[in-house]
Amino acid sequence: MFFESHAHYDDPRFDKDREELLASLQENGVDYIINVGADMESSEASVKLAENHSFVYAAAGVHPHAAGTLNDENLKALEDICFRPKVAAFGEIGLDFYYDHSPRDVQRYWFERQLELAERLNMPVIIHSREAAAETFDIIKISNVRNGVIHCYSGSASMALDYIKMGFCIGIGGVVTFENARKLREVVKAIPLERILLETDAPYLAPVPHRGERNNSYYLKIIAAKIAEIKEISIEEVAKTTFANAYKLLSIDNK
C-alpha cells in the first residue's frame, strides 16, 4: 500500500508504455499517484491523465524553470485548472538557483504570486527548492501558506524541523539511497515519520540500484525500505504512515 506523492507520467519518456505501466503499478500496491505539473502544458496534461485514471490525481503549477512563461493571463488559466475536480494540490512551484533557467527576480516574483493563489484557493502546495534553501524558506514564511510538502528535500535537518513546525511535510525520494546522501539520511532520522511523504519524481532520480534508469513508482518500496532501515522500523509501518500522511494532506476524500 503506497501513495506516490510526486511523479510526472505525462513526460514523453513514458509515451511508449504509459498505460501498461500505470496498470502494473496499481496491481503492485501503488494505490494513489499525484501527477505534478511543471508548466501550463504539463498541468493540463496532468489533469487529463487524472481524469482518465481513477487512482491518479493532479497538481497544477509552474516550476521555476518555466517562471518566465507566466503572466497574469496564464495565472488566471492556472486558477481555472485548479477548480477541476481531480486537482489535489498546487505545484510544483518554488526557486531553482542551480540551473537558473529563469532569471532569479522572475522566479521570486511568480513564486510569491503562485503562493498567493494557492492561499486564496486553500490548496496544499508542492514546493521545489534547489540551491535556494534559505530564500525559499523565507518567502514561504512571509506568506500565509502553511500546508504542503517540500519536494525532494535537500536542506538541513534543523530547517526540515522548522518547516514541520510551520505545518509542512517533507518529500523523500530516491536520493536517500545514494551513497553521498548522508545529510538527507540525517534528516530522515531527525524528523517524525508522520511528516514524511514518499515520492519518486519519476522519470527522474531513480533509487539505487536503478540510479540512471527511468524512474517509476514501483521503486517506492526501495525508498520505503531505506527509510525503514534508517528509523529501525518495518517497511509496513513506513508504507502505512506515509500513505496516511499523503491522503490527509492532499484531501483525496474531497475529490
pLDDT at 251 over 90: no
Q: Which helix (H) or strand (E) holds 79?
A: helix 72-82
What single-letter DSSP state applies at residue 255? -
pLDDT at 253 over 80: no
CB of 116 closer than 8 Å to CB of 243: no
pLDDT at 132 over 90: yes
How far is Cα 184 from Cα 176, in angstroms, rounded to an integer? 6
pLDDT in tens, 7-42: 999 999 999 999 999 999 988 999 999 999 999 999
Q: Which helix (H) or strand (E) holds 6?
A: strand 2-7
Task: For residues 94-120, give the mean pLDDT.
Answer: 97
| pLDDT of amino acid 219 | 98
pLDDT in tens, 197-207: 999 999 999 99
Q: What is the mean pLDDT of the chain?
A: 97
Task: For residues 59-70, give the mean pLDDT.
Answer: 97
pLDDT at 254 over 80: no
Give the whole-number percent of the chain exceeding pLDDT 90.
95
How far is Cα 212 from Cα 204, in angstroms, rounded to an integer? 8
pLDDT at 255 over 70: no
Residue 123's pLDDT band (cuts 50, 70, 90): very high
Burial 214-228 (b: 16+ CB within 10 A, else e): ebbbbbbbbbbbbbb
Residue 252's pLDDT band (cuts 50, 70, 90): confident
Residue 87's pLDDT band (cuts 50, 70, 90): very high
What domains can be seen in the chain, in order of their start residue? 2-254 (3.20.20.140)
